[in-house]
Structure 1
Amino acid sequence: MIINQPLVSLCFILLAAIGNLGCNAQPTANNTMSHSPAAELDFTQPQVFRFDNHQGASGEHKVSPDQQYTEQSGYGFDLQTHPTNNNDPFYFSVAVPEGNYRVIVEFGHTTLASTNTLRAELRRLYVKDLTTAAGEFIQRSFIVNIRNGLLQAPELNAPGATRVTLKELEQHRLHWDNKLTLEFNGAAPQVRSISLQQVNVPTVYLVGDSTVTDQPYEPAASWGQMLPYFFTAPLFKGEIAIANHAESGETMKSFITAGRLAKVLERMKAGDYLLIQFGHNDQKKQWPQTYVEATTTYKDYLNVFIAEARLRGATPVLITSMQRRTFNDQGKIVNSHGLYPQAVREVAREKNITLIDLDKMSVQLYEALGVNKAPLAFNDNGKDATHHNNYGAYQLARCVIESIRQSSLPLAAQLSNQPAYHPAQPDPVEHFVLAPSPQASSLRPDGN
């Protein structure tokens, strides 16, 4: 049978523009802003939350150690945590509207030394092992993207939905609510102040599956949630938002039908970026509703994502999926993705798009670690050969960052000062330290 490729591609583009095949999305958590003091704050101006004894000036809000977040208060310590003398991790949340926020955190204490790791939302890494001496204070500036599950209501009788169709386990997670949540962690976390201001800056949208998403629980992790760390900088230098819309178990088809692509496209503007990594689940013939064949429909769907980004003045970037940990008897990785990585390379060449070849780099990484050490980069103590832990996700993020650094993308100019990286010479796993988040689960991510 002869397939009319232009017609097929056009149909897919129309499908993407619609954004959702279903008439009604499943119910999700309430995404409307509740009435609270924080909801009344003017985030077009810096709002400063102070944790010391400093007398707050105009636009500053003093926070007591026992102030818990509620919908009524609008800001406070969250998830039943607060600062302790035992240096336990703690969360601080502020109710904010959807958008990008410049966050300036001042770390340190007048009489105590500190060691700080900071994540935002669903374990997105921003600060790692920052130390201060007693009486020393250091600021870090970065952008946090906040979203909710609402979609623009379609016109009467038009197809579409008013909400993204979230999975049951996503309903109350931190990256789909109306709060900006910071996780303070490390050997001895100390914070003096936090400043929040809504800003208009370029956004890097990530779309993909479980190997990209913000994994909610230790010990699983994905490269997408490590990416923000490489754009964090001293005061007023970090000017890029990372919006990770990837989700475990997703394919390009399901990403469209759930309204996830529609959500990205609603927020996308000229000057943004769309990093696209699909393949782990798209290749599964046993998933007939979402399967796409490597040399035909897989490439067509990639072209839909590319066309939609370019239509809005954004820059698409294609990423080949990293390999699974499939060693043969000779200690070499066996390709588990068939023709899919090559299809991505061909589309990137045909469309003149920057390619990040994570497929090739992951092979170099795993083989450099070797059969015995490679499991130390994976979830569930290496029993999971697809999903990574913090170390593995961090190494793959360094692969992505190095590719951006070597590209002609303007995005490269926003990278923080990091040494060059080669996956054949990974960071020694024995020396890697990253304070684990308090939230942990033995539940495997969807997909494999």
Structure 2
Amino acid sequence: MKLLLSLCLAAFKGIRTSAQTLYLAGDSTMALGGGGDGTQGWGVYLPNYLDMPIVNNAVAGTSARSYSDLGYFATLIDQAKAGDYAVIEFGHNDVASEAGVDNGTQDAVGEGYNVTELVTATNGSTILIHSFAYYIENAVSALEAKGVTPIISSLTPDNIWTTTAPIQIATGGRFVTYAQGVSQDTGIVFIDHFDYVAQAYDALGETKVDTFYSSNEHLHTLPAGATVVAEAFVRGLLCSSSPLKRFVNSAGQAVPNGCL
């Protein structure tokens, strides 16, 4: 009777009873070990701010397409259960190589589910590839079919600043727009992680943010930078309509900056 009462009180207060898990799908900017050389992905620090189990399935070097083609989405979907959550964030590796030959990660250029493109493989054969939206929306559909709640997150900024006043993080590219488009097409929650990180970086200033990256890097964060990027995601989550935000703990509630 006491156990039943405790569980009921926990549910009433929004306290986790270990029934739900958050899965992370993304690239090196999210992954354990980041891009190597002492860098770290922001997903490593997210457990500091949410009171729930978090499984970081991010894989360095992947894109929406390759995460699908290599079976990583299938593995995540197989692991997850009804009531769980999944954050999906791609874009850094989804661009074509300058060589003009398919790199295995590029998506067809264009917004929307039905966009396709023919590309040439290294062996000279022709491959049909699909849009960013195609790969993400297929994963979203499969997750929702299992009762998992997906969240689409835009990619994180590079440490690249404007050269004219006001000096601030350069604006996001097409993959921010693509991610937002997926949210509009599917009705799932969108967190503009790019803009929330940009807000945090702009507040700290270029000199401070430079310390978050090694001298030869502008993409992969050192641990201090990854912490700021994780906090920016939490701020975006708190400002969203996602029920995931009920798992944000006191440290998460205290992250800096406000809603955009």
Q: TM-score range by the shorter chain?
A: 0.7 to 0.9
1:148-159 mapped onto 2 (5 Å cutoff):
none
Cross-structure match for 2:5? none
Match of 1:220 in 2: 39
* Deviations 1:386-420 (CA, angstroms, capped at 9, x unpaired): 01011111111111112222333332222211244
Residue 362 of structure 1 corresponds to: 197
2:23 alignment partner, one of 188, 193, 205: 205
Assess if the C-alpha contact under 8 Å between 1:362 and 1:423 holds in 2.
no
CA distance in structure 2 between the aligned counterparts of 1:402 and 1:422, rounded to whole angstroms:
7
**Structure 1 counterpart of 2:96, from 284, 288, 304:** 284
1:340 match: 175
Same amino acid, percent of matched pairs? 25
User: RMSD of the TM alignment (CA)?
Assistant: 2.2
Q: Which runs of no fewer than 5 residues in structure 2 stay unpaired? A: 1-15, 116-130
Q: Which has the larger share of strand?
A: 1
Alignment gaps of 5+ in structure 1: 1-142, 144-198, 232-237, 425-448
**Is contact 1:222-1:388 (8 Å) kept?**
yes
> Which of the two has higher C-alpha Rg?
1
1:250 to 2:62 alignment: yes
Question: Secondary structure, in 3 states, of the residue corresponding to 1:377?
Answer: coil
Deviations 1:251-301 (A, max 9, x none): 122212222112111111110111000000012344723211241311111
Segment of structure 1 superposing worse, 317-326 or 200-209: 200-209
Q: In the aligned structure 1, how far is the partner of 2:96 from the partner of 2:257?
A: 28
1:181-227 per-position Cα deviation (integer Å, ceiling 9, x unaligned):
xxxxxxxxxxxxxxxxxx96211110010101111766311110001
Contact 1:208 1:246 in 2 (8 A): yes
Q: Runs (4+) of structure 1 moved beyond 6 Å?
A: none
After the TM superposition, which residues 27-38 of structure 1 pair with which residues of structure 2 at under 5 Å, given as runs? Answer: none
> Given the alignment, which residue of 240, 246, 250 partners 1:413?
246
**2:9 is matched with which residue?**
none
Contact kept, 8 Å, 1:201 with 1:241, in 2: the verdict is no
Instruction: Report the Cα distance in structure 2 between the residues aligned to 1:200 and 1:417, rounded to whole angstroms.
Output: 18
Cα deviation for residue 423 of structure 1 reads 4.5
CA contact (8 A) 2:25 2:89 kept: yes
Structure (1/2) with the larger helix percentage: 2
**Cα drift, residue 332 of structure 1:** 2.7
2:151 aligns to what SS in structure 1?
A: strand
Higher relative contact order (CA 8 A, sep 6+): 2
1:311 equivalenced with 2:145 (yes/no): yes
Instruction: Check conservation: 2:196, 2:236, Cα contact below 8 A.
Output: no
Partners of 1:224 and 1:338 lie apart in 2 by 22
Which amino acid is the alignment partner of residue 229 of structure 1?
Answer: N
CA distance in 2, matches of 1:333, 1:409: 27
SS in 1 for 2:211: helix
CA–CA distance in structure 2, aligned partners of residues 422 and 408 of structure 1: 19
1:396 matches 2:214 = no
* TM-score using structure 2 length: 0.76
The one-character-per-residue Cα deviations of 1:105-137 (angstroms, maximum 9, x if unpaired) are xxxxxxxxxxxxxxxxxxxxxxxxxxxxxxxxx
Q: Give the Cα separation in 1 of the matches to 2:206 and 2:246.
A: 36
Aligned residues: 217
